[in-house]
Structure 1
Amino acid sequence: MTRPRLLPTALCLAGLAGLVPCSLLAPDGATASTSASTTASTAARTAEIRASAQTRAFVDDASGTPANADADDPAIWVDRRHPERSVVLGTLKEGGLAAFDLRARTLQLVAAPAAPTEDAAPGRFNNVDVVGDLAIVSDRGRDRIRVFRIDPRGSRAGDQVLTEVTAPDAAPVFSADEAAVDDQRTAYGLAAARDPRSGVRWVAVTQRHEARIALLALTGAGSDSVGTRSLDTLELPSAFDLPDGTQWSPCEDPGEDPQLEGSVIDAERRVLFTAQEDVGIWRIPLTDTGFGTPRLIEKVTSFGVPATYDETAEECVADGTDPGYGGRWLVADAEGLALAGRTLFASSQGDSRFVLFGADRTRDLRIVAGGGLDSVEHSDGSAITPADLGPRFPQGLLVVHDGERAPAATDEQGEELATTGFAFVPLQRVLRVLR
């Protein structure tokens, strides 16, 4: 079913003592408190760490191989028997889906589906997550959920590590019919997990240009024809009541609502975290029948700032003073979310930082250049595993999207082309920031 738009029943102010008790530990309906020490404790300088490996660069141009490859979102499949053979996956939009080993070497490139007709949009793989031995992908171009089985040999399987098992009759997620798919209000952000109580494999999917999330369940997960069935749909707010009695809506392009993308499921606590790009991070309980009541637990710094769309410049322009209702950590867009235990990791895309909301403190970091590797800018997606992955990543692995891989590729005229990739960071370097 589709829920009506609603305002949050409680706004939790995220801070050192606020976010995790509010988002992960507090029962539904409880609120978290903040203290004077929160502001003082968060004044620490942004930490700087380096990646230990990075994938090849991908070029968003028809001349690239694969063509029009724009890296976006990673996921990690852990080989429990041979952790050093674990596999990292990454979406490349029209370039399809890539698989990498732990040295960040490319194992396999899976092409996105071609356009079904001359006038239709081609496949465009936006987000990916892993549940069990399945990789689940949102196909933004065709509004589908694509499913790939991961070979149990892991990286030893080489260019055979992924095999598509999407059901042939897979229906659009949000579009009423094929004609509506080409409006491109389609499957966008994605998170997947297995419900520890029921065994159902959840897939939470956000909708492009809408403030809407669908909760699906995988069907036929053990077969070669995996589909989905709908459990629930939730509409999040596009307008917010401010403390001064006014109402605020984030400025968007005409006809668009504030969309969501970065998402992660805490299966143990049955909670979905999802980032509404120009608003902040939501905590949404998951139940046997679908979604519980959403709560906004962290706001972007620009929350409440008035802005209007300038048709000449084709962008939003601030047209008033900042009333001071925003958060302190995330500069819009709020993007990729990942979990390591009780630490929530979020991308502050607007200023190329990452924020770690830990159990007893909040810290931020940047991934800087060094050791012959590039820095990370404007990151979209991220993935974390705390598992021991062998000598390279004995305490776990963080993988992040890099929105500006340097040095950039150039065309025949010497003009720079958009170049992206993924960076691998030993998790101990990240957690050291919290300590």
Structure 2
Amino acid sequence: MNSALFVPKQCLLAMLISLATVPALAASPTLKLQPWPHTQEVSINALGFVPGQSTTERLASAREGLLLLDAQGRELSRLEGAFEGLDSRALGAKALVASLDSTRQQALLVSLDPEKRQWGKPLYLPARDFPVNGLCLYRDEASNLFVFLVGEEGKGEQWLVGNGEHLNERAQRVRGLPLPPDAQTCQVQDSANQLFVNEEKVGWWAYPASSEADAVRVPVAMRTPFGDIQQAAGDMAALPGGLLGLDPQAGQLHLYQQDSKGWAAKASLALPGLNEPESLAIRSTQTGLELLLRDDDNGRLYQGQINWQPASVSLPPVLPTVAAIGQSEPVARQGDAADDPAIWVHPTTPALSRVLGTNKKEGLLAYDLQGKLLQELPVGRLNNVDVRTNFKLGTQTVDLAVASNRDHNSLSLFRIDRVSGELREAGEIPTPLNEIYGICLFQPVEGELYAFANGKDGRYLQYRLSAPDGVVKGELVRQFSVDSQPEGCVADDQRQRLFLGEEDVGVWAVDARADRPATLNSVIKVGPQLHADVEGIALYQGAGNDYLVISSQGNDSYLVLDGEPPYAVRGAFRVGLNGTAGIDGASETDGLEVTSANLGGPWSVGMLVVQDGRKRMPEQTQNFKFVPWSEVAKALRLP
């Protein structure tokens, strides 16, 4: 039962008494409804307002075309065709209109210039392999434009169709979305990034609209006996902080307010004279809400006003978005497979540098800077990986990659050829950990190398690595613990410091030297800025500026802090989609890595690599996203 919809009698009486003493807009909502004259020669099935507060024009879809109407219902312009459904968004000085072409059985988007009363060239989505019942538009925080399709048998899809004031030349499918089996319609409230979908026999649902979000849903309102919907959850309209929904069989319009606990019913308004109300459209005015309705029983149209507006809702801060300009090929295993990257910098030819990545269902992967897979080393379930240069392997000098191997609770070692970049297995070091997890390397001086390995029980083991006879060995030199599950770690070789993450607690700093006490000093705790789980940690060391980069997995963001006390927070950002390059954003990130090395071209001031836990556009197995550090610095205004 939705407890937010249940109000005890004594509380209801107190609410009614209090409402009687406040201004009209806050009193019990009332509806004034009257017939709306319209063009009689067309069969209108959906209504809408032209985006913009100062406009008086209306939009309509009909079996005879898409229509631009004046406030009196007179036709001003028409796009010929047969259309069903309607949604719109501002597109600069124009309007973007979405509808379903009944003849072609395809969704389309078309621009409209209301002042010139001219329709643009339609952009058609590819024909789908399922019947499309409804559609709705969405503009995200980065001004990307999307259209959601609601289909039969629970099929839903999200498509990228434009950005800012421009439509793309072609639409790109971003993801599939499981929806209720009898869903017919949808609406999106852009500022809250919420997608609303009806399930006629159950209720109205709210989903995250972000293209990187998980497909979870929460109820807005349910049918009796679990909520206040008497018969059916029909068409709806969304606005900041609120939702209006039609129960066409009961002839009621329901008003809902969102708050920190969920959704609460505010009023149920009767719709006298309407036998089957559908096609609800609303917009805010200074005195409340203006709405349009259609009676599906006889095709008559109505307009009205409601003296109510939902209260404002506190929303998370809008974070800047940067786009990846490259990505790796997807890993060769399904599910949660890709985990942690590392960056190996070629000593003489930066363009030949490598991005290493772990596949925790298979082994170690090596990519070039364009994301092409160059090597697969199937050595077991590797979780984290780190790299250091100039390691003495007998009489040879090699670069070394070390990964945590969950199959053997060991450290897997790989030598990297300093000319070709080729990786080869270089041995294995067993550990007493029951469930090895993270790994990072520490190189305080040339010729000396340490590995930190942690387990799920919170233990950290520090090993001194050496190979005087050509076989890598590990000597355990120190142990310490954190109280709960640890995650990623990174060592600051210059300042001999280790940064480590504790998933639900925060980030700590500890002296990395083996002969020093392992005293934990708090860098940042989980809270408003850092959202659990704390995952990957990396260190950017530039010319005079060091930054910690942390995967704040709980809100799909990345937090940047100064790399020295007092570890001031420089800001947070998200990795969003790059429509031009056809690269989706990154979310549910586990590991990450960053370098300040000049790798050439867009990587002239460094590269950030993040694991993408939800690969989309198209939907594939997980991979790694490549982001120019210059874009991060620009977004956060770093010095």
Separation in 2 of the partners of 1:125 and 1:343? 27
SS at match of 2:633: helix
- Once the two structures are superposed, residues 225-261 of structure 1 have per-residue CA deviations (whole angstroms, 9 ceiling, x without a partner) of 2121101110223xxxxxxxxxxxxxxxxxxxx2111
Separation in 2 of the partners of 1:149 and 1:385? 20
Separation in 2 of the partners of 1:429 and 1:74? 20
- Once the two structures are superposed, residues 246-284 of structure 1 have per-residue CA deviations (whole angstroms, 9 ceiling, x without a partner) of xxxxxxxxxxxx211111000111111011001110111
The answer to whether the aligner puts 1:131 opposite 2:388 as a matched pair is: yes
Q: Is the 8 A contact 1:60 1:70 kept in 2?
A: yes
For residues 219-298 of structure 1, what are the structure 2 equivalents within 5 Å? Answer: 219-220=466-467, 224-237=470-483, 258-289=484-515, 291-298=517-524
Residue 153 of structure 1, CA deviation: 2.1
Q: Is the 8 A contact 1:85 1:153 kept in 2?
A: no
Q: 1:57 corresponds to which letter in structure 2?
A: P
Residue 407 of structure 1, CA deviation: 4.3
Equivalence for 2:557: 353
Task: Determine what percentage of the aligned residue pairs are the same residue.
Answer: 33
SS at match of 1:330: coil
**Aligned match of 1:421 in 600, 619, 623?**
623
Q: 1:433 corresponds to which letter in structure 2?
A: A
Equivalence for 1:201: 449
Separation in 1 of the partners of 2:470 and 2:606? 31
Q: Is the 8 A contact 1:339 1:345 kept in 2?
A: yes
Equivalence for 1:186: 435
C-alpha spacing 1:163/1:290, structure 2 compared with 1 (3 Å):
farther
C-alpha spacing 1:376/1:73, structure 2 compared with 1 (3 Å):
same
SS at match of 2:491: strand
Residue 399 of structure 1, CA deviation: 0.7
Separation in 2 of the partners of 1:284 and 1:331? 22
C-alpha spacing 1:400/1:390, structure 2 compared with 1 (3 Å):
same
SS at match of 2:351: helix
Equivalence for 1:402: 612
SS at match of 1:58: coil
Q: Is the 8 A contact 1:215 1:290 kept in 2?
A: no
The answer to whether the aligner puts 1:381 opposite 2:591 as a matched pair is: yes
Q: Is the 8 A contact 1:44 1:363 kept in 2?
A: no
Equivalence for 1:363: 571
> Which of structures 1 and 2 has the bigger CA Rg?
2
Q: Is the 8 A contact 1:174 1:207 kept in 2?
A: no
C-alpha spacing 1:81/1:272, structure 2 compared with 1 (3 Å):
same
Higher RCO structure, 1 or 2 (CA under 8 Å, sep 6+): 1
Q: Is the 8 A contact 2:347 2:418 kept in 1?
A: no
Residue 291 of structure 1, CA deviation: 4.7
- Once the two structures are superposed, residues 339-365 of structure 1 have per-residue CA deviations (whole angstroms, 9 ceiling, x without a partner) of 112211000001110001136652000
SS at match of 2:601: coil
Q: Is the 8 A contact 2:490 2:500 kept in 1?
A: yes
Residue 199 of structure 1, CA deviation: 4.1
SS at match of 2:427: coil
Separation in 2 of the partners of 1:402 and 1:338? 16
**Aligned match of 1:163 in 416, 424, 429?**
424
C-alpha spacing 1:75/1:287, structure 2 compared with 1 (3 Å):
same
Q: Is the 8 A contact 1:174 1:186 kept in 2?
A: no
**Aligned match of 1:333 in 522, 529, 533?**
533
Separation in 1 of the partners of 2:420 and 2:561? 32
Scaled by the length of structure 1, the TM-score of the pair is 0.66
**Aligned match of 1:50 in 323, 328, 333?**
323
C-alpha spacing 1:333/1:166, structure 2 compared with 1 (3 Å):
same
Separation in 2 of the partners of 1:205 and 1:217? 11
Q: Is the 8 A contact 2:462 2:514 kept in 1?
A: no
SS at match of 1:419: coil
Equivalence for 1:315: none
Q: Is the 8 A contact 1:165 1:224 kept in 2?
A: no
- Once the two structures are superposed, residues 150-194 of structure 1 have per-residue CA deviations (whole angstroms, 9 ceiling, x without a partner) of 111245xxxxx1111115xx32x124xxxxxxxxx3221111021
SS at match of 1:165: strand
SS at match of 2:599: coil
Higher strand share: 2
Q: 2:439 corresponds to which letter in structure 1?
A: L
Equivalence for 1:218: 465
Residue 419 of structure 1, CA deviation: 2.2
The answer to whether the aligner puts 1:147 opposite 2:413 as a matched pair is: yes
Gaps of at least 5 residues in structure 2 are 1-315, 390-398
Q: Is the 8 A contact 1:283 1:294 kept in 2?
A: yes
C-alpha spacing 1:231/1:107, structure 2 compared with 1 (3 Å):
same
Q: Is the 8 A contact 1:143 1:174 kept in 2?
A: yes
Residue 394 of structure 1, CA deviation: 1.0
Residue 288 of structure 1, CA deviation: 4.0
Q: Is the 8 A contact 1:363 1:433 kept in 2?
A: no
Scaled by the length of structure 2, the TM-score of the pair is 0.46
SS at match of 1:431: helix
Q: Which contiguous aligned blocks of 4+ residues in structure 1 show a shift greater than 6 angstroms?
A: none
C-alpha spacing 1:89/1:224, structure 2 compared with 1 (3 Å):
farther
The answer to whether the aligner puts 1:372 opposite 2:600 as a matched pair is: no
Separation in 2 of the partners of 1:364 and 1:84? 29
SS at match of 1:362: strand
- Once the two structures are superposed, residues 260-316 of structure 1 have per-residue CA deviations (whole angstroms, 9 ceiling, x without a partner) of 111100011111101100111011112242553111221112xxxxxxxxxxxxxxx
Gaps of at least 5 residues in structure 1 are 1-42, 62-67, 113-122, 156-160, 176-184, 238-257, 302-327, 410-417
C-alpha spacing 1:100/1:236, structure 2 compared with 1 (3 Å):
same
Query: Quick check: 224-233 or 287-296, which moved more?
Result: 287-296
- Once the two structures are superposed, residues 93-136 of structure 1 have per-residue CA deviations (whole angstroms, 9 ceiling, x without a partner) of 12210001111111100002xxxxxxxxxx31000000110001
Separation in 1 of the partners of 2:331 and 2:442? 28
Q: Is the 8 A contact 2:534 2:550 kept in 1?
A: yes
Separation in 1 of the partners of 2:347 and 2:367? 17
- What is the total number of aligned residue pairs between the two structures? 303
Q: Is the 8 A contact 1:234 1:291 kept in 2?
A: no
Q: 2:472 corresponds to which letter in structure 1?
A: V
Separation in 2 of the partners of 1:223 and 1:127? 27
Q: 1:211 corresponds to which letter in structure 2?
A: G
C-alpha spacing 1:216/1:372, structure 2 compared with 1 (3 Å):
same
Q: 1:235 corresponds to which letter in structure 2?
A: S
Residue 202 of structure 1, CA deviation: 1.3
Q: Is the 8 A contact 2:480 2:518 kept in 1?
A: no
Q: 1:124 corresponds to which letter in structure 2?
A: R
C-alpha spacing 1:125/1:80, structure 2 compared with 1 (3 Å):
same
Query: Quick check: 224-233 or 284-293, which moved more?
Result: 284-293
Separation in 2 of the partners of 1:127 and 1:380? 10
